[in-house]
Structure 1
Amino acid sequence: MSKTFWEAVKARRSIYGFSDEKVVSEERIEEIVRDAIRLTPSPFNSQSTRIVLLFGEQSKKLWQVTLETLRKLTSKEQFADTEKKITGAFASGYGTVLFFEDQTVVDGLVSGFPLYADRFPVWSQHTNAMHQFVIWTALEAEGLGASLQHYNPLIDNAIQTEWGVPASWKLVAQIPFGKALAEPAEKQISDIDARLKVFR
């Protein structure tokens, strides 16, 4: 990694413009994803997060599928803006990470630990979010721009069909990435003292 952990955390932002120029190898990105899957914590060590990693034409296909799905659901006026955003900000990148939660694992925990049954779906989202953060930050550390998107559940069925994803995998989020071409907008940060209590 070219940045320290905290440098990457501070620099990680939503980027809405990137190219498909290879900043690092596909192998390095796959290594990052594999390490995230192996090392990111999960409730009861459930390891329920599943990931599909798409490069090149496969990534572009995902965003074409997304466009065609949205074309059927939005007005012509709305679709023009949507098409511009997806084509210029997501489909133009180097790849996309798709994040899922395996409901078979979550349902098994619900059955196995009835005292916590109502919490496991929530905790499942927690581990997925941690995977998203780890991978997004690691991509930033390697010099890649990215953003977190949520086009589910609109594209769930199309993804299952196109890439043979098991029906038990529930899509949670998408991270398109590539060489950043745009600077992020200025981030507004609310008062930290209003969000933090410290007792000594």
Structure 2
Amino acid sequence: MKIIIVGAGGHSRVVYDILRADRNVAVSAFVDNSPRGSEETIMGVPVIGDHDVLPEYVKKNDVAGFIVAVGDNDIRQQHFETMTDMGLEPVSAIHPDATISETANIGPGTVIASGSIITTNAKVGENAIVNTGSVIEHESEVGDHAHVGPGTTVAGRVRIGDGTFVGMGSSVTDYTTIGENSTIGAGSVVLDDVESDTVVAGAPAELKRRKEQQ
């Protein structure tokens, strides 16, 4: 299947590097809203511009799928919804060095980076990121459009809400629930439930502020 990668920053290079090992997909181009030179490429693959060029490009090049390679959860979700509205199929990027239980469930459009471990009956939602070397233990759930940072350990039966970001090197103890659209600071130790739309940090993690409702 021919696909495009949405995003042309650092994370897009990681995603493309993962997808090069997947014989079921071929990356046709990168798409990015930032101004780009007409000859720009990433690892030999062209960067073709913003979403305005997509309808013609997709039709001309028989592109059927996509993956969003943007770290910011809100922006990644917006791009994901735009691309699915165009009728393109979300594909996942799962590194061959990741260890994923046969009983785990990985949603479409999700990135599972190198060295990650997803264990028994764990679930990762759509358009999410489980970054390098992270562990999602048994029966835990990572929501849609969430991002688990590098080197994070999520113990068993944890619930991480949609759109939540867990910073690198954090630890989340078992049976903990983290609400939607929250931010866990890097290196935090989460011992208690975290409300939605909040920022927590520290060891143990404590409330730093509440996010403004949109």
- The structure with the greater share of residues assigned to helix is 1
Larger Rg: 1
Shorter-normalised TM range? under 0.3
- The structure with the greater share of residues assigned to strand is 2
TM-score with structure 1 setting the length: 0.24
Higher relative contact order (CA 8 A, sep 6+): 1
TM-score with structure 2 setting the length: 0.23
